[in-house]
Amino acid sequence: MDCVTYFSRLDIPDGGENPRVKAALLKFFYDKGFYFDVRSRLEDIFSDFTLDNMVSIWAGEKVSLYPEEKVCLGEKSRCLLEKVLRDRSCSMAGSSTGIIGKIYERSLEAAQRKSQGITYTPEDICDYVSAMLRGKTSLETRFLDPACGCGTFLEIFYDSLIRCYWEMSDFELISEAHERILKNSIWGCDTSPYACAIAKITLALKYRRFVMCENIINADSLTDLPESCTAFFDIIASNPPYIGHKTVDAQYRKNIEKLYGEVYYNKADIAYCFFVLGEKLLKPGGCLLYVSSRYFTQSRYADGLRGFILERMKILKVIDFYGARPFKNTGVDPLIIMLKKERPGEDYIIPSVRFLSRSGSAILDDPSVEQLRTPASMLSSSGFNFLSAPQLRLRELTEEKCPLKLSDICEFFQGIITGCDGAFVTDSGDPAAAECGKKWIKSSSITQNGIEYRGLCLLYTDALRDLEEAPLTRERLGGYREKLSRRRECAAGKKEWFRLQWGRRAELFEQPKIVFPYKSASSRFTVDRDGYFFSADIYGMRLREDFREKLSLDTLALLLNTPLYRDLFFSFAKKLGGALYEYYPNTLGELRMPPAGIIAGFGNTGDIYDYFGEKYEG
């Protein structure tokens, strides 16, 4: 069993705050063997089982890391810990000091991690960050992590500096270097006082002689860092918290909007503010390296952030996990971006790496990653898309031969939101379906070759004047009346309790149309002439009036389903987790399209590739 799992399962009921972390620290001292004689001081430790006391014993003087009342362990806990110290099945002799922070992070409740935007940084992400920092540090480098947590990135930076001393045989010189680094090179900030204490311990444990890193402070770096820190740091690296707009306190939101309004507005993420903060705190020419959600590259509410980056900074490198999720048990799709505080000036090439496997655990020279070189001119405040050579060729090809956009040709509409599918969606054999039922499909029913109808019906009650004309429907829905009445519009008196929450106009569904799933791993456009109604995970598309006599839906679906157009869309579509893409109409509508007369002449995929002048092998 690994040590993180081992200590996360320990039960020390009288051990005070975070007893598992303190037990792990004690085990670390014991297994390493060179900090102090743990065995001779066990009584002192068990009589005051606190971080401060344990570290003070090591330091040989009073140390204040985290305020905690004195904790005296009972006989049962003492016996348990002595057994833990003797247990060789989980030895920390070869562990990095950062293991203490990992055990702390594992001990946090899931709700706490989510509300505070805390995500444990996996080993492979740390390896990438370490590799990207290699060659960019010296003993004169000042480093900051403005959301340092337990000090993962601080440890990475420390290791990069101390490495040049490893071959020295003069331990006094190493001791001096250890102290110099902690006092003059490393700064950290975090809102959690306990995480700050762990970060200080993580760095102090790097050498047998205790030195406190006083530059790690318990504060909100977005609001509380002193003005003296402006243009002070050479490197800033962090995994900023991912906190969406729904969980931010209203007053805090107002404060942040005043300070970071150029990037933080509407549904923006708190993480966006850290880019502005980082640019402010960096020296000219300094390096910013963030592990962030890739959401900002395409989010509608991140255009301010993208514009800020393009105007103020040069993008040095990007590692795009592209739907792989190395962060376990989270919905985060990460991206690592390295920026330089420098106005870009002329166009330049951005080297980037894109993962092709879903695991996110490949190394950077692994065949399951794709090396990309994207011209900076291809990026805009509207979206960041880091492209492969074939994707660049596709974009250039369609720009040249396609004067229209799909939104010029078609208009889109979303499916129905019932507010309670259990009430309104039933089997076609239900007698109530004969009164107001409409054939109903979900996104899984849609293929490129047609629609697989699965016998479901929607009780389209918006077509009824009242329920008196549909007694069977009234009887079925009656069992859901209380639940349906609690829907917002019904509770506000804007809708009768038996109406659909968002019913749309029936004629939208009854007309010939192309339908497609909102989220999909590939293009699935199919023509529907059977008048299917559908849920909000499907969109419909109909020809605009000017094109209804010029084009057929079948030809348009043929074009959109080609591998060429699939890959063209993927070159700028929003990537979701795993293999999924978001087929959002505002994005889909940007697809470049040939003239209507050319599209009308396409009889098969061969005609399409002949027009574009190449045999596409996508």
Instruction: Give per-residue pLDDT as tens, 258-309.
Output: 999 999 999 899 999 999 999 999 999 999 999 998 889 988 899 999 999 9
Bridge partners of 527, per DSSP, are 514
Please tell me the predicted confidence (pLDDT) of residue 166.
Answer: 65
- Tell which CATH classification among 3.30.2130.10, 3.30.420.40, 3.30.1490.100, 3.90.220.10 matches the domain 411-461+501-612: 3.90.220.10
Geometric angle at alpha carbon 152, from 150 and 156, rounded to 5° = 145
Domain ranges for the chain, please list them: 1-95, 100-387, 411-461+501-612
Specify whether the CB–CB gap between 591 and 569 falls below 8 A: yes
CA distance 558 to 595: 15
Q: Which helix (H) or strand (E) holds 575?
A: strand 574-575
Give the confidence band of 331 by pLDDT, cuts at 50, 70, 90: low
Q: Which residues contact 402 (CB under 8 A, 6 or more apart)?
A: 592, 593, 594
Instruction: Give per-residue pLDDT as tens, 453-473.
Output: 999 999 999 999 999 999 999
Query: Does pLDDT of 345 surpass 90?
Result: no
Nearest to 295 by CA among 271, 276, 315, 261: 271
The CATH architecture assigned to 100-387 reads 3-Layer(aba) Sandwich (3.40)
Amino acid at 234: D
Instruction: Give per-residue pLDDT as tens, 20-66.
Output: 999 999 999 999 999 999 999 999 999 999 999 999 999 999 999 99
